[in-house]
Amino acid sequence: MLFVENITKKFPGVIALNNVSMQLHKGKVTALLGENGAGKSTLMKILSGVYSDYEGRIAYDDRTLNFSHVRDAQNAGVTMIHQELNLVPHLNVMENIFLGREIVNDWGFLDKRAMNQKTTELLARLHLNVSPHTPVSELKVGQQQVVEIAKALLNDSQIIIMDEPTSAISDKEVDVLFGIIDSLRQQNKIIIYISHKLDELFRIADHYIVMRDGCFVENGEMGNANHQHLVNKMVGREINLSRAAEVIKPHQQELLRIEKLCLKKPQRRGGAVLTDVSFSVKGHEVIGLFGLMGAGRTELMEAIFGLHPTLTTGEIFVDGKQVSFRSPDDAIKAGIALVPEDRKKDGLVLGLDVTTNISITTLHNLQRGIFLNEVKEKELAERYISQLRIKTPSGKETVRNLSGGNQQKVVIGKWLAKHPKIFLLDEPTRGIDVGAKNEIYRLIQELAAAGMAIVVVSSELPEILAVSDRVLVMSEGRLTADIPIAEATEDSILMAAIPKNLN
């Protein structure tokens, strides 16, 4: 049995886990449920040795586990299959599986034959029909996921954590995966399975544990639970925003129109190509764009924002006029703003202060001659700090020290300063706490009410349902559904999002 006892983990500005306790049984699959930001990932990162500074105790049978490194956890028999793939693209399947655990012969050279044989065995067991020598970069996302699972099997781990293992794989592959999980269960292993897809959990899990806002909420037998009950426990509150959609919106003018947009080659590993995407957004309207990992949501936002000018074809109209963006700069000048998916990587200069990050889009308005007008700059920043209720000691605080929600508000603030007509938000509430989430939802409604055309990309269905006037669904780089909010349900959206013909 694995005991998690009174675990608390704090980050600057957020308590990610608050006195969490749970027990996990051998030979059982335990589903860990909770919304993004509930603390699941943080807890799993502690279990797998990513975070070593926390309060509380973890024990396996009678043995206290103290990991200061991922390797310690692996040696102790804990393996985590991460949601974001941790493979080295230029290395082949075999090299990735054995990375850090290479077999060497008596001379200290790599024993490629032994590794090759073992890899072939593993791949056969997982029904993955590729050569061990295929570079990982040439595999589809689903296949890469299977390679990750092969890594875990190689470890012969006692505790296997799977974080959204099916987010990018086809039904057929899911069946194979569940077969593997079943055999792991028979081998008396502890399996922790994190997923948003409740139907899957009812198929595979024995127990469930629900978390919310960093706290343990409830556990029980999967057989005794039902769909509605679990959702209520996860959400723990009614999401009932008084949506501006109910109000008759004045003068709805089409602000953004996309015609047959194609993106030829993915920019990065796991990136999607886009095929013939067409849609339009009116002023005062909030579009929710849903899709599974790898569906092309982020690529679509980037293509509209002028990030892949040489790879994009199709037509974009802003305010009825056809435009062609060669860079984000062009898109911004046309009145488009993008809150990127990864705010730390693409949204903020973490080492600079709040004021500098907010003013970065509008410095040309803040000049006196060739010099910057620091008074005006400070006024601007303070206006958005108070308007968006950004919690910061002052505008001089380094953005790195802010909590996730406040960092996101800084990103939003820098775009509001620019007064965009069209606001694209890619996963605007990822990894931020519930309070800040609700503030951002409210803000989205306010901006729409003020006349902006808004596209919210999200992988959280409750979020999509809460903020949208209309839901667009993507799958494998195509738009597969366009559903008015009145007719949208979790089922109808998910049906359109799941790939039909992978492999």
Partner 1 sequence: MEIEIQVNTGLKRYTAQVKRFQSLIALFILCVTLTLLTDKFLTVDNAWNVMRQISVNICIATGMTLVVLTAGIDLSVGSVLALSGAVAAGLLKNGLPVPSINLFVGFTVLGAVLAGLMVGAALGFFNGWTITKFKVPPFVATLAMLTIARGLTFLWTKGYPISNLGNDFDYIGMGWFLGVPLPVWISIIVVVVAVLLTRQTRLGRYVYAIGGNESAARLSGININKVKLVVYAIAGGLAAVGGIMITSRLDSAQPNAGISYELDAIAAVVIGGTSLSGGKGSILGTVLGAVIIGVLNNGLVLLDVSPFWQQVVKGAVILLAVIIDRSGSKADA
- CA 463 to chain centroid: 13
- Site for partner 1, residues 284 to 313, rule: CB under 8 A: 305, 307
HEC letters along 77-112 = CEEEECCCCCCCCCCEHHHHHCCCCCCECCCCCECH
Which of 36, 219, 356, 406 is the binder for partner 1 (CB under 8 A)? 356
Report how far residue 407's alpha carbon sits from residue 385's, in angstroms, rounded to the nearest whole number.
Answer: 11
Q: Tell whether residue 328 is a contact of partner 1 (CB under 8 A).
A: yes
Please state the closest distance from residue 331 (CB atom) to partner 1, in A: 8
Contact with partner 1 (CB under 8 A) among 414, 430, 437, 470: 414
Of 373-392, which residues contact partner 1 (CB under 8 A)? 374
Which among 262-270, 382-390, 396-404, 465-473 is the span making contact with partner 1, rule CB under 8 A?
396-404
Instruction: Tell the smallest beta-carbon distance from residue 123 to partner 1 (Å).
Output: 36
Please state, in angstroms and rounded to a whole number, the distance separating the CA atoms of residues 495 and 290: 11
327: contact with partner 1 by CB under 8 A: yes
With H, G, I as helix, E, B as strand and everything else as coil, classify residue 49.
coil
104: contact with partner 1 by CB under 8 A? no
Helix (H) or strand (E) holding 272: none
Per-residue H/E/C for 407-467: HHHHHHHHHHCCCCCEEEEECCCCCCCHHHHHHHHHHHHHHHHCCCEEEEEECCHHHHHHH
**How crowded is residue 115: how many other Cβ atoms within 10 Å of its Cβ?**
20
| Contact call for residue 360 and partner 1 (CB under 8 A) | yes
CB nearer partner 1, residue 50 or residue 494? 50
Q: How far is CA 180 from CA 123, 132, 177, 203, 293, in A?
A: 12, 20, 5, 14, 22
* Cα–Cα distance for residue pair 165/82, rounded to 1 Å: 8
- Select from 347, 404, 413, 431 the one that contacts partner 1 (CB under 8 A): 347
273 counts as binding partner 1 under rule CB under 8 A: no
Q: Is residue 492 involved in binding partner 1 (CB under 8 A)? A: no
Are residues 243 and 448 in contact, defined by beta-carbon separation less than 8 angstroms?
no
Query: Closest separation between CB of residue 401 and partner 1, Å?
Result: 6
CA 97 to CA 101: how far, in whole Å?
Answer: 8
> Shortest gap between Cβ of 439 and partner 1 (angstroms)?
18
Q: Which of 180, 209, 348, 497 binds partner 1 (CB under 8 A)?
A: 348
Please report, for residues 86, 285, 401, 473, 485, the alpha-carbon distance to residue 244 in angstroms, rounded to integers and kept in the order given: 41, 9, 34, 22, 12
Residue 464 beta carbon to partner 1: minimum distance, rounded to whole angstroms: 24
Residue 401 or 438: the one with the smaller Cβ distance to partner 1 is 401
CB of 344 to partner 1, least distance (A): 8
Q: Which residues bind partner 1 (CB under 8 A)?
A: 12-13, 15, 305, 307, 327-329, 332-333, 338, 340, 345-352, 356, 360-361, 363-364, 367, 370-372, 374, 393, 397, 400-401, 414
